[in-house]
Amino acid sequence: MTFSTPAGPVQALANASLTIAPREFVSLLGPSGCGKSTLLRLVADILVPTEGRIEVGGEPPGVARRRRAFGFVFQDSTLLPWRNALQNVLLPLEIGGDARRGRPDALALLELVGLRGFEEAYPWQLSGGMRQRVAIARALITRPQVLLMDEPFGALDEITREHMNQELLRIWEATGTTILFVTHSSPEAVFLSDRVLVLGARPGRVKLELPIELPRPRDPAVKETVEFARHTAALRRVLAGEARPE
């Protein structure tokens, strides 16, 4: 992916090749400006690659987008402040003209993300973590094949972030949705993922693919194990520009 700028072309991604299996949880890790968010936007058909191709279930991203194959969760919850939690979740279906039919699904998703009883609450009445739960429910309302998450917990405090990590795993296991997750945190990537892909500095490319060999289901106790420390240290070495781990 190359962007045109007043100062000339800027290559954001080069030879960034990867394959993600159905129901897999894959994290993208790397320094700021390495193309992680750009890659998510290419998959979602928000951007069009200047070279190469992308397929989602064997289809171009544009076709996949039109059949609502994607859900997208941003770092900010991007909720509409004049709509309550239920109304925010229903928004994608309203745009598609089938919000009334989807009301039971929206209520079930709010319960799934732990917000039963908050259906009528407005964003200003919810904590940051609760707003992100609404955003996740909204992204899942169309039953997407792929959930794209761009640092969804980056603005949360550490305690809330760790709790949201556990909740995300629970939701992922319950829905079976494929997740592509962008983060700057090595421990978060290890705790959540089946694989972590480390992107190198601009132009972004896959510098390391690290399978996370930790049993599932996972709980916070796994962070105290030698295996967790080994995976996290391997990622940090690569991020620091040290030798590739054996």
Residues 6+ apart with CB under 8 A from 114: 133, 167
SS3 string, 92-150, reads HHHHHCCHHHHHHHHHHHHHHCCCCCCCCCCHHHCCHHHHHHHHHHHHHCCCCCEEEEE
Query: Rounded to an integer, what distance in angstroms lies between the CA atom of residue 150 and that of residue 42?
Result: 13
Single-letter amino acid, residue 211? P
pLDDT computed for residue 99 by the predictor = 65
pLDDT computed for residue 220 by the predictor = 93
Sheet strands side by side (includes 178-183): 70-73, 146-150, 178-183, 25-29, 195-199, 206-211
Residues 6+ apart with CB under 8 A from 99: 90, 93
Three-state secondary-structure class, residue 241: coil
pLDDT computed for residue 176 by the predictor = 93
What DSSP string runs through 31-98?
-TTSSHHHHHHHHTTSS--SSS---BTTB-HHHHHHTT-EEEE-SS----TTS-HHHHHHHHHHHHT-
DSSP letter for 245, please.
P
Contact between residue 12 and residue 2 where contact means Cβ atoms under 8 Å apart = yes
pLDDT computed for residue 6 by the predictor = 92
Describe the crossing of helices 99-112 and 85-96 by its angle, rounded to 10 degrees: 140
Query: Rounded to an integer, what distance in angstroms lies between the CA atom of residue 202 and that of residue 147?
Result: 25
Query: Rounded to an integer, what distance in angstroms lies between the CA atom of residue 154 and that of residue 184?
Result: 8
Contact between residue 165 and residue 144 where contact means Cβ atoms under 8 Å apart = no
pLDDT computed for residue 246 by the predictor = 43
Q: pTM for the whole thing?
A: 0.91
Q: Which two tokens stand for residue 104?
A: 């039971």
Residue 6's Cβ-count burial label (10 Å; 0-12, 13-18, 19+) is exposed
pLDDT computed for residue 244 by the predictor = 44
Chunk the chain into consecutive blocks of 10 residues (it has 246) and report each block's average pLDDT, rounded to whole numbers. Answer: 91 91 96 90 94 92 91 93 96 80 90 95 96 96 94 91 94 95 96 95 88 94 96 92 48
Single-letter amino acid, residue 110? L
CA angle 42, 44, 47 (to 5 degrees): 40
pLDDT computed for residue 177 by the predictor = 95
